[in-house]
Amino acid sequence: MVSKNTYILGIESSCDDTSAAVIRNGKVLSNIVASQEIHAKYGGVVPELASRAHQQNIVPVVQQAIEQAGINKDDLNAISFTKGPGLMGSLLVGTSFAKSLAMGLNIPLIDVNHMQAHILAHFIEEENTRFPPFPFVCLTISGGHTQIVKVSNYFEFEILGETIDDAVGEAFDKSAKILGLSYPGGPLVDRYAQQGNPKAFSFTKPKVGDLDFSFSGLKTGILYFIQKKLEENPRFIQENIYDICASIQYTIVEILMDKLKNTVQKTGIKHIAIAGGVSANSEIRKRLQLAQNQWGWTTYIPKFEYTTDNAAMIAIAGYLKYLNKNYADISVKATARLKVTE
Ligand code: KG4
Ligand code: ZN
């Protein structure tokens, strides 16, 4: 029997990374990410600059993804792209490009929800990966979102809890900013934390109902703490950076783990996945690994390159939709605000 391969090109441009990936069936052949360094000096993503950079990057990034996959663009079976949520100007670049290419090649166009794609990255086929069985719970933690989602099948999602203010990625990035670290600060806090004592300083955990989160109080608490310490010792940050980062990270991860414990108790579901940029964090990865023996959970931790924004996750979501012939109409619109359930 001749097996038929399916090749999907994924395009991601929702925020400040321009990315393109090619997958064959469920396997990644290429996953190119061009990160935009320009935003670091502004301390956050500048939307206007992001869309301009996407415009510059999109053609070479797509070309490189196709080349590295060792295929020709005529081999592609469909083009999937991020429809939302994200920055409108950024989304428009990927959306318009995907539409033109799909029309030019006369192949199906598939729209993908970025938040669903973060979760569906768990279904990328890799050596030794176990796919989470349905239903499972996914803690989606990124720069824009903090959600606990029940996943009943590839396209059935239910939000069990979410942040009522800042996202956890913002908690990392804003804390880092208070410490004078460059944007995005999450990875730096993680790196410095590895050399620090997580119990050196204690920060109050927010009191918020059930499965919801709140991080704005924590951020203010950290700001006041640092201001007070700096009055006593202007070199407080330099002298204690490792311990401060370790303590902040410990508090944030404790908050996330507490909510996951509540979720398991409430739903009885012990298959727990994480997704989104903050799932690159070494402490949350370690704690979830430990939870397997500690509490009998089965945990699913994505490969590092599928945690932060990337097009492989858009391509796998596209592939799963392709199998259902769930195609988009050419009139499909980029949508800045889109829930994981939409
Ligand atoms: O998913 P993502 O790449 O973009 C959004 O869709 O938001 O997530 C970016 C967020 C940023 O806030 C960044 O600081 C955070 O993920 N992040 C981390 C780590 N790596 C990325 N936060 C903590 N520890 C990390 N290692
Ligand atoms: Zn994301």
Domain of residue 279, CATH code = 3.30.420.40
> Any idea of the CA torsion for 31, 44, 342, 266, to the nearest 10 degrees?
100
Q: How far is CA 77 from CA 2, 16, 21, 107, in A?
A: 17, 27, 13, 6
Does ligand 1 have an atom closer than 6 angstroms to the CB of 186? Answer: yes
Q: How many A from CA of 323 to the centre of ligand 1?
A: 30
**Residues 65 and 152 reside in one and the same domain:** no
**Residues 112 and 165 reside in one and the same domain:** no
Cβ distance 162 to 146 under 8 Å? yes
Nearest-atom number in ligand 1 for the CA of 173 is: 14
Does ligand 1 have an atom closer than 6 angstroms to the CB of 225? Answer: no
Residue 342 lies in a domain: no
**Rounded to whole angstroms, how far apart are CA atoms 141 and 161?**
12
**Residues 313 and 280 reside in one and the same domain:** no
Q: How many A from CA of 277 to the centre of ligand 1?
A: 4
Nearest-atom number in ligand 1 for the CA of 282 is: 26
Q: How many A from CA of 191 to the centre of ligand 2?
A: 21
Nearest-atom number in ligand 1 for the CA of 280 is: 26
Does ligand 1 have an atom closer than 6 angstroms to the CB of 184? Answer: yes
Beta strands 109-113 and 7-12 are unpaired
Number of domains in the chain: 2
Does ligand 1 have an atom closer than 6 angstroms to the CB of 85? Answer: no
pLDDT for 153-192, tens place per residue?
A: 999 999 999 999 999 999 999 999 999 999 899 999 999 9
Residue 128 lies in a domain: no
Print burial letters for 283-303: b (CB count within 10 Å at least 16), e (below 16). Answer: bbbebbeebeeeeebebbbbe
Residue 131 lies in a domain: no
**Residues 288 and 172 reside in one and the same domain:** yes
Residue 298 lies in a domain: yes
**Residues 29 and 70 reside in one and the same domain:** yes
Q: How many A from CA of 143 to the centre of ligand 2?
A: 7
Does ligand 1 have an atom closer than 6 angstroms to the CB of 276? Answer: yes
Does ligand 1 have an atom closer than 6 angstroms to the CB of 142? Answer: yes
**Residues 111 and 153 reside in one and the same domain:** no
Q: How many A from CA of 100 to the centre of ligand 1?
A: 31
* Confidence (pLDDT) at 3: 59
Residue 336 lies in a domain: no
Nearest CA to ligand 1 atom 10: 143
**Residues 91 and 229 reside in one and the same domain:** no
Number of H helices, E strands in the chain: 9, 10
Q: How many A from CA of 186 to the centre of ligand 2?
A: 14
pTM here?
A: 0.95
Residue 130 lies in a domain: no
Q: Which ligand is nearest to the CA of 113?
A: 2
Nearest CA to ligand 1 atom 16: 277
Q: How many A from CA of 138 to the centre of ligand 2?
A: 14
**Residues 152 and 27 reside in one and the same domain:** no
Residue 239 lies in a domain: yes
Does ligand 1 have an atom closer than 6 angstroms to the CB of 144? Answer: yes
Q: How many A from CA of 229 to the centre of ligand 2?
A: 34
Task: Tell me the residue range of the domain where 104 lies.
Answer: 7-123+306-323
Tens-digit pLDDT profile for the chain (342 aa)?
A: 555 899 999 999 998 899 999 999 999 999 999 988 888 887 788 888 889 999 999 999 999 999 999 999 999 999 999 999 999 999 999 999 999 999 999 999 999 999 999 999 999 999 888 999 999 999 999 999 999 999 999 999 999 999 999 999 999 999 999 999 998 999 999 999 999 999 999 999 998 988 999 999 999 999 999 999 999 999 999 999 999 999 999 999 999 999 999 999 999 999 999 999 999 999 999 999 999 999 999 999 999 999 999 999 999 999 999 999 999 999 999 999 999 999
**Residues 156 and 272 reside in one and the same domain:** yes
**Residues 96 and 192 reside in one and the same domain:** no
**Residues 223 and 99 reside in one and the same domain:** no
**Rounded to whole angstroms, how far apart are CA atoms 221 and 11?**
39
Cβ distance 23 to 312 under 8 Å? yes
Q: Which residues are within 8 A (CB) of 290 and not within 5 positions of it... i.e. 6 or more apart?
A: none
Nearest CA to ligand 1 atom 8: 277
Residue 56 lies in a domain: yes
**Residues 285 and 144 reside in one and the same domain:** yes
Task: Please choose from 12, 142, 313 the residue to mutate so as to test ligand 1's pocket, defined by most ligand atoms within 8 A of CB.
Answer: 142
What amino acid occupies position 48?
Answer: E
